[in-house]
Structure 1
Amino acid sequence: MILSYIRKNQCKRLFYPLMLLGVVIFLVWRSPVTEYVTKRTISNAVLINDSMAKKVLYAKIKTGTLYYSGEDCLAGGELVGHYYYELIGGSCHFYLIRALAGYPASKTLEGQTIIGRVDAFEPEILDPLTQKLAEDISWDAKSLKSVCQKYFVNQTAYLNRREIVLMVVLLLVFVLMIVVFIRTFLYIINPRLTKTYRNLEHYGNPEKILSDVEKQIRRRILLQTKTLILTPRYLVELSDDICAIIPLPEVLWIYDHAAMRRTIKGRQLSYTIHVVTMKGEEYTLTGKSHREVSAIYHELNTRYPNFFFGYSKEHQEMVQYVLHEMKNEKA
């Protein structure tokens, strides 16, 4: 019964990782990551028209000699790139090359391999660009504009700082989710790997303890609430967050604290039970009501009056002393 509950509990825990993985996949799909992987290699002599621009978001181009146009690209007052051009096959091709911090633009660039986004020129960019270039090469601005491509390859838009951070975060979240999935599936296949089962090894044979717990749950329940089951020898929590089995003869100290918690019904007082055993194990049972805590305390105080009940500095010091002495005895 307990092992089956652990399996069901682990299955429920798959919901949030699956949801987060779905968000990661959606962000990857909406981000340029997929286009980076599927970038297309095209010749520098190819004219990029509207039809091609719809199909090719990112392109890889090996150019000939590029010439500095004299125009730069600023974003937020910061220099991000320089406009270069190449005259080939009777047309003028522009490239926005990433600026190197502290270095002026070179007059020429020989044989570049450029990976960038295919962007359409806005008139307010293309007009002054062709005007400035026409003056430099003593050509008519109108004639020059007629042979200029209306698309340019934007190197500054490929793997910029924001996208690198996004890709790293998505990769880390993806790896984390894979680890969580693997661990959860292992727990579903073999619940004896879970902390619930392994904690029982501190108190004896886990299989015998589980068998005893299930017998007591079937025949000798003293108190049962929504998430807690109390039997003569065990306190068991079966909630969505945790599955815990606490052998009562091993308990040394039990105390609780209350805190306000936001719920659908508004702010409510929620109690947390802390249990410390003679093996030094600590259990935290959260989200309990005052009625649950009072009922558990009443039963335990009656059957196990040797417990340290409630939090105090004296109790904390006594528990630490007892655990220290027990550790020394084992050594």
Structure 2
Amino acid sequence: MNINDVSVELSTGERRVTYDGITGLRYWRAGVPDAPVLLFLSGGGHLARIAYGVDGIDQTQFLDHWLAREGWSVLALSYPTDHPAVGAPLPEITLVEWARWVARATADVLDENPARGVFAALWSMAGRSCNALNAAFRECGQELAAVISLAAMPPLDGLMNVTPGGEPLTSGNLWAIGPSDRGPDNLWVREFLADLAAQSERDGVTIVPEQRYLQDFLCNTPIMLRGTPQRIRNGHPEWDRAAAISDTRSDELDAYPLAAAITPTAPEDGRHVLMDAVSWSFVCAQAIRARWQAAGQPTTRWPDLVKLALQSRARLQREIPGNHFFFVGSAGAAATTAAIVALSKELRELSDEIDRLLVG
């Protein structure tokens, strides 16, 4: 399909963007000058529309609406897929390549709208990119202020579940979730629909009509963005744990960013409820350690730095009632926005406190 096919209608604020032969879908809404930018990266099987919606659906059901009320800008990026909104699948794209694309897209936006802190909100699978993303920003001469997990899985080896035998692939070697592969027998789609229905029931309103969700939000996904040993090389599936570790940069301890976590509460998303606060606290601790080492390992205020690192877990975690889609629906989106704003302030204060301790 021609990616410039005018018969494929994009929603307000969307634009297909290509860098170095990689095409993704960009949504950009500029907020108040000098206000922060929320960079949203989506999880498996979903366009980034899950953060901002599409034309014809109540915008109050999505994060973008509530962030706009806070003055924040939103940059939401969808990975290469065969979904008609993108129409440029790249089944062999790696996390490192995707992170560099994201950094380039962010740099272009900031060239036009300079000087704002960028906080990356990573949902689900997108958490696997946090180290690669932090490194890619540095390569571009940018600074990623921090990442905020939305029920996301960090890039630690062995955390991601893999279906026995591997995730199902389309004939084009994409992780089969949609749009043409979203049949009732697809386990992932059944779980997504159940979770979205539960969020709708909690809100007392249909957040997204099922057919619109299947058509406009779900997409087949490049499998290597999951950061697992399931890989595609030269058109053929293979398993390579070492390649997955290298791609997620989980073994590059200086690549970890400052991080916070917003966690759901429902047992249906139990692994995130139980694990995320601890997992992302580890990520943040690695970032603090890296800054200490880069400063020459000063010890003048060592006890204060240790105390700060220990306190960071409590400071940098929030809970929102709901399941894996807790940030969707007006109540969840409003609460998640409030948590993002609060955590961004905590992360900035933490960063400033680290700097003061390291020079003190």
TM-score bucket of the superposed structures, by smaller chain: under 0.3
**Greater RCO, CA 8 A, separation 6+:** 2
Higher strand share: 1
TM-score by length of structure 1 reads: 0.22
- Larger-gyration structure (1/2): 1
